[in-house]
Structure 1
Amino acid sequence: MKRAFYVIILYVLSSSFCYSQDYFIVNSKKGVDKVKFKLVNNLIIIPVEINGVSLSFLLDTGVSKPIVFNFLNISDSLKIKNAQKIMLRGLGEGDAIEALRSKNNIFRIGEAININQDLYAILDSSLNFSHKLGLPIHGIIGYDLFKDLVVEINYTKRFLKLTNQEDYRRKSCKGCEELNLEFYKNKPYVNGVVDIDNRNIPVKMLIDSGGSDALWLFENEAIGINSNAKFFQDFLGHGLSGSVYGKRSKIKAFHLNKFTIKNPNVAFPDTTSIGHALDHKERHGSVSGDILKRFNIVFNYRKGKVRLKKNRFFKESFRYNKSGIELAHNGVRLVKDDTGFVSPKTKNKSSTVEDNTQIVYSPNYKLRLKPAYVILELRIDSPAYRAGLKIGDTVLSVNNKPAHQFALLQDLMELFYGNHNKSIKLKVERGGEVLTYSFKLVDMLK
């Protein structure tokens, strides 16, 4: 008997699976639990325990079944069972990749537990998003959590509130706006309006908490969705099947019922990178982390509702990387920490002449392992490109601050989001040689 061969699309993941008691339940007295999360580059990172192993997952409303990356041979420690080989395909220009589909796994997120959860373990150990975010990301989870529970995302205080459906009590909320959710292959969509060239165009948008941009729009001349005169070609992100490229620009406004988000950034991805995302013919794009974080959000998939309340991030200006550089964590470097001290010492104790006192420097070095950051992407004709920087350069310092002193990769990248004409000085290592480059940030959409 031939084994069935599946091709599954990550970003618009097929969801024709049968569920048999695979559901999350909050195992607490009140049926409610709060789970703290990290917000990194507009992305939500939550703690997930699988078969007793503690991991960090990206919370992504754009995926159906959980994905596990195998870059640390995690699938061995997870004791994956009942595995079946499949192929996954997602955003990007690359090919489909091999994965194992596993059943009957125990998932725990705070007090929420599912004792019969499917997952997909990617076999290629080189494929992961950890080095692009600068902290461990072991996998992605989405629909299976949202379909069972009422999920509140509090971006302000950075916690998820998970509630069993039968224990949820909808409270009145001044200033809130409730929108209808529509679903296609288990992905949540919401209707909005984009203001492009003074035309209000109705759009159906995927709610994509797994994207760090503000908006993605799919160009469509027939209805007027096009980039305006001010745009530039750029790297937009990483998908399961490779890098995604396209145009960066701005639009006048994005409307979600009574909420108006002014002058948001927008990306128009190349069709070669999003072919499978276009399977849903009514879809016009995605609303992602840089807009979602401006609200505290309650998702109720079972009722087909999402409730939004704007928070303190709502009026933040939209920024983007003006350097042309994308950095990635690339292992560690040995860094020499100078812990030397300076002390006075007298040459001749019997002498009263001050000149006989000398300063003695006692060097004391320690070698420490520190994160190494390399240039992963470099936009052609960008300020960094014109200055002479190259892909593969290891960044040693930025504006005279050692790169390893930045607590997170996000903190270092933040310097590239500064104002037009801000000066940047980079010291890099290339082929064993230390080089210094200087350039100024350029606002291409000014």
Structure 2
Amino acid sequence: MKLLAFFLAIFLSCFPLWISAQGFKLPSEQKLQKIKFELVNNLMLIPIEINGSDLTFVLDSGVSKPILFNLAEQDSVQINNVSEVTILGLGGGEPIKALSSTGNAFKLGKAKNYNQDMYVVLDKGINFSTSLGVPVHGIMGYDLFRDFIVEINYSAKNIKLHNPNLYEDKPDKKAQILPLTVESRKSYVKATVLSEDSADIPVKLLVDTGSSDALWLFHQPEKGLEIPHKNYEDYLGRGLSGDIFGKRSKVNGIRIGDFELKDAKAAFPYRESIGFLQNYGDRSGSLGGEILRRFNMVFDYSRGTLKLKKNGNFKAPFQYNLAGIELQHNGLRYIAERIANSNGIVQQKKGSFGNVQILLENKTRLSLVPEIVVSSIRSGSPAAEAGLKEGDVILAVNGKRIHKYKIQEILKMLNEKEGKRIRVLIERYNRDLLFTFVLKKVF
């Protein structure tokens, strides 16, 4: 099962187009800054202030410079010193136009950088909020990992930005320290893939907290990295330059240091979807959030180390999209509900899509809620065979009206377990239709 319908492939890589003196700093006497994050589909969403505006970014260790997008959900954001540039990222499309901006004030608590560079993407199509179900305004990574020793606790859902000059590493017998290589503003670790014939294949993997997937591998027969026989074609996500497609499968295992995960979910992106990489060099793929969340970790770019310790997620099963449905928000819709008492007021909650309620005549509540639609369906999947179509508006799953749930919770309902019978009520061309299907293994 995949908890995010529209896989958020934020492997958004771009070429650094400038070099300027900048850096995050804490007050000289402060040892660390602790930041709480929201974990949505294996992605860490952190609060950040940019030029006085409060925004939400994905902490993405796979991106070299902050990228600001989805400006439509923010009343105003000041952007300093702009010029037009071209950015090329993952996806089968062409490079996109963007703005480069310098001299911006970034704040995460008391961690501040008053001279931060960033990219600004104005294309409205680059918007991951609709698939995550919460507003997301951008991504950032390298600048924080460069300037701090970054401790990520997936269990407690917090990040600690340690002042490198005051950091004291605490010995932990249950943790392991691995070499970490930083190249072109990105970090890599060495691991071992266990293939179908149980052969050990050494690989070098990008450590990418901005990917919600588990493991991406490049098809490299010369290294022994073949696509397993049991696989299916799938939409893997969207990059800056378009959609990403490939084969989804699993490998016998992945070994990182002394830690081994068996039957690890893996995807093999088509080369044309990641063509901007040109030459893979000695890189064999990427480690994403579905694997990384199984550890608490400490990144130390300055010393070239990554400290890993298993957490309570380590033995959790890998999640597959058993139903074959991809979902996303598609604007807002009204629903009417009978209620016992009201006083004719209007209520609104912040921080989500819609959630406006109008109470009428002590009888009816009109609520403006997100409209959740089927964005795509995997060919041959249970949902496709049952007759569901792209564009269908989801109203209820197994008798539960979905407007009360987050999009990730709805996806969990749709992909609960093999053999589960799923009933989906949808609206299509102003008609309510009920579809039923049984979840099947994908392999």
Match of 2:305 in 1: 305
Name the structure 2 match of 1:206.
206
Distance 1:280 1:228 in 2: 20
Distance 1:307 1:121 in 2: 33
Is structure 2 residue 139 aligned with structure 1 residue 132?
no
TM-score, with normalisation over the residues of structure 1? 0.90
Contact 1:86 1:101 in 2 (8 A): yes
Aligned twin of 2:367? 368
Kindly indicate whether the alpha-carbon contact (under 8 Å) linking 1:70 and 1:121 is maintained by their aligned counterparts in 2: no
Aligned counterpart, 1:186: 185
1:50-129 equivalence runs, <5 A = 50-72=50-72, 74=74, 77-129=76-128
Opposite residue 72 of structure 1, the aligned amino acid is: A
Deviations for 1:190-227, whole angstroms, at most 9, x for unmatched residues? 10000002110000000011111110101111121112
Partner of 1:441: 439
Contact 2:11/2:210 (CA < 8 Å) preserved in 1?
no
Q: Which amino acid aligns with 1:18?
A: I
**What corresponds to 1:225 in structure 2?**
225
* Secondary structure, aligned partner of 2:221: coil
In structure 2, the residue corresponding to 1:274 is in which secondary structure? helix
Is the 2:13–2:88 contact (alpha carbons within 8 Å) kept by the matching residues of 1? no
1:184: how far off? 2.4
Q: CA deviation at 1:11?
A: 3.4
Amino acid at match of 1:200: D
Structure 2 residue matching 1:276: 3-state secondary structure = helix
Q: How does 1:306-345 map to 2 (within 5 A)?
A: 306-340=306-340
Give 2:416's aligned residue.
418
In 2, the alpha carbon distance for the partners of 1:178 and 1:266 equals 25
Change (3 A) 1:422 1:28: farther
Aligned residues: percent identity? 43
Mapped contact 2:100–2:119 kept (Cα < 8 A): yes
1:360-404 per-residue CA deviation (whole Å, 9 max, x = no partner) reads xx9811111111111112111111111111111110111111110
Deviations 1:119-146 (A, max 9, x none): 1111113421000111000000010111
2:403 is matched with 404
Find the counterpart in structure 1 of residue 15 from structure 2: 14
Q: SS of the residue aligned with 1:370?
A: strand
Letter in 2 for 1:79: Q
Between the aligned partners of 1:336 and 1:328, the Cα distance in structure 2 is: 22
Partner deviation per Cα, 1:206-264 (whole Å, 9 max, x = no partner): 00111111101011111211122211111212212222111111111111111111111
Answer whether contact 1:192 1:205 (CA < 8 A) is retained. Answer: yes
Note the C-alpha offset of 1:52.
0.7
Distance in 2 between residues matched to 1:207 and 1:16, nearest whole Å: 23
> Any idea what the Cα deviations from partners look like across 1:62-116, whole Å, max 9, x if unmatched?
0011000144175x82221210101122111222221110000000012211010
Kept after mapping to 2: 8 A contact 1:215/1:287: yes
SS of the residue corresponding to residue 222 of structure 1 reads helix
Structure with the bigger RCO (C-alpha within 8 Å, sep 6+) is: 2
How far, CA to CA, are the matches of 1:155 and 1:417 in structure 2?
23
Q: Is the 8 A contact 1:323 1:384 kept in 2?
A: yes
Structure with higher Rg: it is: 1
- Counterpart of 1:284 in structure 2 is 284
Partner amino acid, structure 2, of 1:47: P
Conserved in 2, the CA contact under 8 Å of 1:339 and 1:365?
yes
1:254 is aligned to: 254
SS of residue in 2 equivalent to 1:72? helix
Contact in 2 for aligned 1:99/1:121 (Cα 8 Å): yes
Secondary structure of the corresponding residue to residue 411 of structure 2: helix
Q: What is the aligned length? A: 414
Q: CA RMSD in A?
A: 1.7
Structure 1: which 5+ residue stretches go unaligned? Answer: 1-8, 342-361
Question: Which stretches in structure 2 are left out of the alignment for 5+ residues?
Answer: 1-9, 342-360
TM-score, length of structure 2 as denominator length: 0.90
Give distance in 1, aligned partners of 2:99 and 2:298: 33
- In structure 2, C-alpha distance between the alignment counterparts of 1:90 and 1:417, rounded to whole Å: 31
Instruction: Write the distance in 2 (CA, Å) between the matches of 1:437 and 1:93.
Output: 34
- Which residue of the other structure, out of 432, 435, 442, is the alignment partner of 2:430? 432
Query: Compared with structure 1, are the counterparts of its residues 51 and 363 closer, same or farther at alpha carbon in structure 2 (3 Å cutoff)?
Result: closer
- Counterpart-to-counterpart distance in 1, 2:88 and 2:136: 19
> How far apart are the structure 2 equivalents of 1:27 and 1:330?
44
Any runs of at least 4 consecutive aligned residues in structure 1 with deviations exceeding 6 A, and if so which? none
Partners of 2:184 and 2:68 in 1: how far apart?
A: 20
Q: Which moved more, 1:251-260 or 1:410-419?
A: 410-419
Conservation of the 8 A alpha-carbon contact between 1:73 and 1:125: no
Paired residues of 2:15 and 2:88 also in contact (CA < 8 A): no
Q: Is the 8 A contact 2:334 2:368 kept in 1?
A: yes
Shift of the alpha carbon at 1:340?
A: 4.5
